[in-house]
Amino acid sequence: MLLAIDVGNTKVKAAVFENNTFLTKEVFNRSEFIPTVEKIIKKYPLITSMIVASVGKMDKSDFLHFKTTLKVHFISNDNRFPFQNLYSTPKTLGIDRMVLSAGAVLFYPKHNRLIIDAGTCVTYDFIDENDGYRGGAISPGIRLRYEALHNYTANLPLISKEEPDHFIGNSTNQSIHTGVINGLTYEIDGFINTYSNKYQNFIIILTGGDADFLAKRLKNTIFANQNFLLESLNQLYQYTKND
């Protein structure tokens, strides 16, 4: 069994896999890492390996705490990936984006793929049908947009994510909701339309913490999967475990 760990900017996500079967998932704060992983290992004693993709600030010693019982694999830019990295600054490409791109290649061979990860930031990653990673875009996620409106103005309140009642906001709060949620929805649809007009044989994968919230609002046909990064980690482990 494999324990896949995704350390994001906000939360840690952990999933247990038996070969390609997804067994369970936990989401928790970084401060809860060791006790939560200990609980998972106790429940699934056949776990033999841990694979880690981290973009958040977390001490490596937390993972190495388990090195006596598990083989700990850290994903880095030096790993072997199933695509050619054509980014002009390949060493700066985030590990999360590389893992998602690997998953897209391994799950959907011989397609043009756009992966949209809607988390703290929204990242767009495009891998062509010849498995060339071309690049993409980064923009603020839903939470950052709400916080920016509050932090960089004098009077706008900080409010929580909410479905807009109408495309015309009839109060300050509703105007913020429609601006943030509809603005991001239009952005995503706009990116998808731009790519799909240029590339045939095209697949869009939407993932991240806000994937389900956004999926029902998008006009385009997508594969929405909140767990795609964890599943991609498992696929990448299978791809590289004999290295």
- Residues taking part in catalysis: 96
The Cα–Cα gap between 78 and 64 comes to 19
The Cα–Cα gap between 96 and 141 comes to 15
Residue closest to 50 by CA, chosen among 99, 101, 103, 1: 1
Q: Which two three-digit tokens encode residue 51? A: 């694979």
Residues 154/76, Cβ–Cβ less than 8 Å? no
Partners of 204 in the β-ladder: 114
Residues 151/130, Cβ–Cβ less than 8 Å? no
Cβ-count burial of 226 within 10 angstroms (0-12 exposed, 13-18 middle, 19+ buried)? buried
